[in-house]
């Protein structure tokens, strides 16, 4: 056992050593080239660690505490609910659905619109190629990654306590969620655009903002619209469950009717939602097809 | 007038691009800078419009002390200095006329430039510029649908649209075929004569430089090794500039 341990530690030592020795290569004629330090080794070890950790978590939680047998036994309950939704569908409930449904659409529209508008200037600030050697992009990216840490539902939950139950919390949560995603996607697109035209326009005496508007915007605008449309679809689906944390929309009454086990009413809501989502999805797909 | 006085340029990574360069370029001259790749041709040109900063020495253009220019003063100076690139640097996803109009943006008010509304005068300037390089009929076609030579002409028109007194061209014909390269060079020649614009072009191909420029500056490893009339160039001078015999790669029209 002792020898095995020392063998492993020796192996790791040589691995690390070799990795460091690789940094400078000396050629036959005495000239040398130094490879800059790379994090690839560290990243590999970290990824492996994370995978092992989560694997462990899933195995223990799922099979020991929750109980796999329990899980499989409860599957038929799902079909019972589906069956009730089909047999007891309550069309007279439809008029109650319209108002909250309009709220849901409103949350998605306003949230997407405002969130993506705020995203544009921030995405520019986060793009290293536009900002030059400035440190601003690093700082902005750091804050953006903090914003993206929390999922939409958690924001909705928090805001529903701050601003009270209802659509305001939902709109705010959607704005922040949209903002987080779109800035990230946009600065990645901006950072990979062809900078040649930007440099050329800057060389004509334009400011960075003017050069961005003239040379970069035409390159990225199509993709921006298509991302916004896609996020709108996501937001519409998400705003249905926002109600479960009392942040407005159709989810609020859906939550109530589920608690009352009025699956017939729930069925009407699900159908309504399905209809709206299919319509929006088709329009968005058509528009995105036209854009590309 | 462009005046370099003992200019040196060292890049942050330690590469010495130019050493002790002194030269004067009078208005209206057509100057070709020749030399091997890596000799410092591009650096020399990029110092003129401050795309790169001078490390030592001084550089004056039309009485302005270039290394000290900043912000608005630098942008105003750049209005008068056009730049043409090897890779054209056009905005591919938009029309030819919009590419040329982009050169008018610095003079516009912020609202109309943000919204992309160009005045009639600006559109006329852009179309005139396109006409000068002979591709007026392509004005409303997307830039990426043009051939390489046509794209470089659009880039030239964009430069003309800013009404410059100096045009810098960084390897403008290096990625073009011989015939197109010849056409672009004669465009430069015409613009030089008709508009009396100073032209500084760096290029690798000796024969084109000798055919079109009135003055040749030869650079070898960051130093000027020849500066004089095109007509005075001899085989020996070319050998010192290139540090070796000329090969096929240095000449665009091989049969000459």
Domain range list for chain A:
14-75, 92-291
DSSP code of residue A62? I
Residues of A at the B interface (Cβ-Cβ below 8 Å)? 194, 196-197, 199-201, 203-207, 210-211, 213-215, 218-219, 222
Among the listed residues B133, B128, B164, the one whose alpha carbon sits nearest the alpha carbon of residue B146: B133
The pLDDT score that the predictor gives to residue A28 is 74
Residues of A in contact with B51 (CB under 8 A): 199, 203
For chain A, give the mean pLDDT. Answer: 84
Q: Where are the beta strands (DSSP E) in A29-166?
A: 32-34
Alpha-carbon gap, residue A108 to A284, rounded angstroms:
14
Answer for the pair B144, A186: CB distance below 8 angstroms, yes or no.
no
Given a contact cutoff of 8 angstroms between Cβ atoms, the answer to whether B81 and B110 are in contact is no
Average the pLDDT over each of A68-77, A230-239, B144-153, B179-188 and give the range with the smallest value.
A68-77
| High-pLDDT (> 70) share of chain A, % | 88
The chain B residues in contact with chain A (CB within 8 A) are 49, 51, 74-79, 81-83, 85, 87-94, 98, 102-103, 105-106, 113-114, 116, 155, 158-159, 162
ipTM value, please give it. 0.86
The pLDDT value recorded for residue A189 is 93
At A120-173, the pLDDT tens digits run 999 999 999 888 888 999 999 999 999 998 888 899 889 888 888 878 888 999
pLDDT of A278 above 70? yes
Taking alpha carbons only, the member of A149, A91, A103 closest to residue A243 is: A103
- Angstrom distance (rounded) from CA A81 to CA A269: 14
Q: What is the pLDDT of residue B201?
A: 93
Across B126-143, average pLDDT: 86
Band (B247; pLDDT cuts 50, 70, 90): confident
Q: What is the reported pLDDT for A175?
A: 94
Question: What are B23-37's pLDDT values in tens digits?
Answer: 989 898 899 998 888
pLDDT tens-digit map of B88-117: 899 888 888 889 998 888 888 888 888 888
Extract the tokens encoding A176: 């922040």
Residue range B187-225, pLDDT digits in tens: 899 889 888 899 999 988 888 888 888 898 988 888 888
Residues of chain B positioned with their CB less than 8 A from the CB of A214: 91, 102, 105, 113
Q: What is the largest CA-CA distance in chain B?
A: 58
How far is it between the farthest Cα atoms of chain A?
89
Considering only CA atoms, which of B173, B201, B209 is closest in space to residue B45?
A: B201
pLDDT tens per residue across span A166-218:
788 889 999 999 999 999 999 999 999 989 999 999 999 898 888 999 899 98
Mean confidence (pLDDT) of chain B: 87
Pairing of strands B166-170, B81-84: parallel
CATH superfamily of A92-291: MetI-like (1.10.3720.10)
Share of chain B above pLDDT 70, in %: 99
pLDDT at A95: 87
pLDDT-derived band of residue A68, with 50, 70 and 90 as boundaries? low
Q: Give the ranges where B49-199 is alpha helix by DSSP (H).
A: 71-79, 96-101, 110-115, 120-132, 148-161, 178-194
Count of CB pairs separated by less than 8 Å, A with B: 74
Q: Do A205 and B77 touch (CB under 8 A)?
A: yes
- Asked if residue A267 lies in contact with residue A274, where contact means CB atoms within 8 angstroms, the answer is no
Q: What is the pLDDT of residue B256?
A: 44
Residue B174 pLDDT > 90? no
Contact flag A206-B106 (C-beta cutoff 8 Å)? yes
pLDDT digits (tens, 9 = 90+) for A4-23: 777 777 776 666 655 555 56
In sequence order, the β-bridge partners of residue B229 are: B215
pLDDT at A91: 85
How far is Cα A163 from Cα A149, in angstroms, rounded to an integer?
A: 21
Specify the pTM.
0.74
Least confident residue range of A8-22, A23-37, A249-263, B5-19 = A8-22
């Amino acid at each position: 056992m002792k020898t095995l341990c020392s063998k492993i530690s020796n192996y790791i030592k040589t691995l690390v050593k070799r990795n460091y020795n690789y940094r400078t290569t000396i050629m036959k004629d005495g000239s040398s080239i130094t490879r800059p330090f790379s994090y690839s080794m560290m990243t590999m070890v970290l990824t492996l660690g994370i995978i092992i950790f989560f694997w462990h978590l899933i195995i223990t939680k799922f099979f020991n505490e929750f109980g796999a047998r329990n899980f499989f036994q409860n599957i038929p309950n799902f079909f019972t609910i589906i069956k009730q939704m089909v047999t007891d569908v309550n069309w007279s409930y439809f008029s109650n659905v319209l108002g909250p449904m309009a709220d849901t659409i409103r949350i998605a529209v306003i949230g997407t619109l405002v969130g993506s508008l705020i995203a544009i200037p921030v995405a520019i600030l986060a793009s290293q190629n536009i900002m030059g050697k400035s440190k601003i992009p690093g700082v902005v990216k750091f804050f953006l990654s903090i914003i993206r840490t929390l999922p939409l539902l958690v924001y909705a939950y928090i805001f529903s306590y701050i601003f009270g139950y209802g659509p305001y919390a939902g709109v705010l949560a959607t704005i922040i969620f949209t903002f987080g995603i779109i800035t990230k996607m946009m600065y990645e697109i901006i950072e990979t655009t062809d900078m040649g035209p930007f440099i050329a326009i800057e060389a004509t005496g334009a400011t960075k903002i003017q050069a961005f508007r003239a040379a970069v915007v035409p390159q990225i605008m199509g993709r921006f619209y298509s991302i916004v449309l896609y996020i709108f679809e996501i937001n519409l689906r998400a705003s249905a469950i926002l109600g479960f944390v009392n942040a407005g929309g159709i989810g609020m009454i859906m939550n109530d009717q589920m608690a009352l086990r009025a699956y017939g009413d729930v069925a009407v809501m699900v159908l309504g939602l399905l209809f709206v989502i299919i319509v929006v999805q088709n329009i968005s797909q058509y528009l995105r097809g036209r854009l590309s | 007038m462009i005046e370099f006085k003992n200019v040196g340029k060292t890049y942050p990574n330690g590469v010495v691009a130019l050493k002790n360069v002194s030269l004067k370029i009078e208005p209206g001259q057509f100057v070709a800078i020749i030399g091997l790749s890596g000799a410092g041709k591009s650096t020399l040109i990029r110092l003129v419009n401050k795309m790169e900063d001078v490390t030592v020495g001084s550089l004056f253009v039309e009485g302005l002390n270039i290394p000290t220019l900043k912000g608005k003063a630098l942008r105003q100076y750049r209005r008068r200095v056009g730049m043409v690139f090897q890779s054209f640097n056009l905005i591919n996803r938009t029309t030819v006329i919009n590419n040329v109009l982009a050169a008018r943006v610095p003079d516009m008010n912020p609202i109309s430039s943000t919204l992309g509304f160009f005045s009639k005068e600006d559109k006329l300037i852009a179309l005139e510029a396109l006409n000068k390089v002979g591709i007026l009929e392509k004005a409303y076609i997307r830039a990426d649908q043009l051939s390489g030579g046509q794209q470089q002409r659009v880039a030239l028109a964009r430069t003309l649209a800013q009404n410059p007194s100096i045009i810098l061209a960084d390897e403008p014909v290096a990625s073009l075929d011989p015939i197109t390269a010849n056409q672009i060079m004669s465009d430069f020649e015409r613009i030089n004569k008709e508009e009396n614009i100073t032209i500084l072009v760096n290029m690798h191909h000796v024969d084109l430089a000798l055919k079109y420029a009135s003055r040749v500056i030869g650079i070898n490893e960051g130093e000027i090794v020849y500066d004089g009339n095109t007509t005075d160039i001899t085989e020996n001078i070319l050998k010192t500039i290139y540090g070796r015999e000329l090969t096929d790669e240095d000449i665009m029209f091989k049969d000459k």
